[in-house]
Structure 1
């Protein structure tokens, strides 16, 4: 009988430890389904935005070349694509913007930047509505391109 009581106590202790360990593990470990609960699949990724811009590269290039008759070619810097919230001094901000830098006329130290206002962080840019954010410059931005 004493042996039975000792075995029951050990079984009880082990069960309690397993229960505590299981609860701890469940609160710390991620399940394969967590991504569906935490990731917003409606927001385009940077790669999605770049792919969209690449589809419209010709339109973007033609528009930029039209801003300055001396610009004969444009080389886009795809790795510079950024989506940012526009700040205007208010807590709600002024909206969202997508920006991208480029070089022109095969000049290595040339630079310019364009921006697209976005309806929301979850939207793609409107190809009919973008503007120059940084003038055409050379010497790493030190001189305007004339």
Structure 2
């Protein structure tokens, strides 16, 4: 009779885990549970928007670096290089999250916006090292 509460708790735990949602870490909201296809599309868009914003900022930093010439601009160049490396790391983190999120969405039978799926295939080809381990083994070299 003492096992009955254990099995009840186990069933409740399993029911809570199988809510049909997908966990994703978005730039603004942090880690959230995405319960519907529409919410998955919004989360995908948020990740891609963050990637785009970071890319624009990286391009701006590259342009500023080109203008920071000469010995008097050395500190400015070092600061720009530091910001660039931090942004690169941030972009890779968001890309890794995006590349791990899309297969989970597709496994649910949900559909993303066509442009988002196209970007997934582009990024999965360009950044094979950022794919989740199970995914990277199945992609052709």
**TM-score normalised by the chain length of structure 1:** 0.27
| Structure (1 or 2) with the larger CA radius of gyration | 1
Greater relative CO, 1 or 2 (CA 8 Å, sep 6+): 2
**TM-score normalised by the chain length of structure 2:** 0.28
Higher strand share: 1
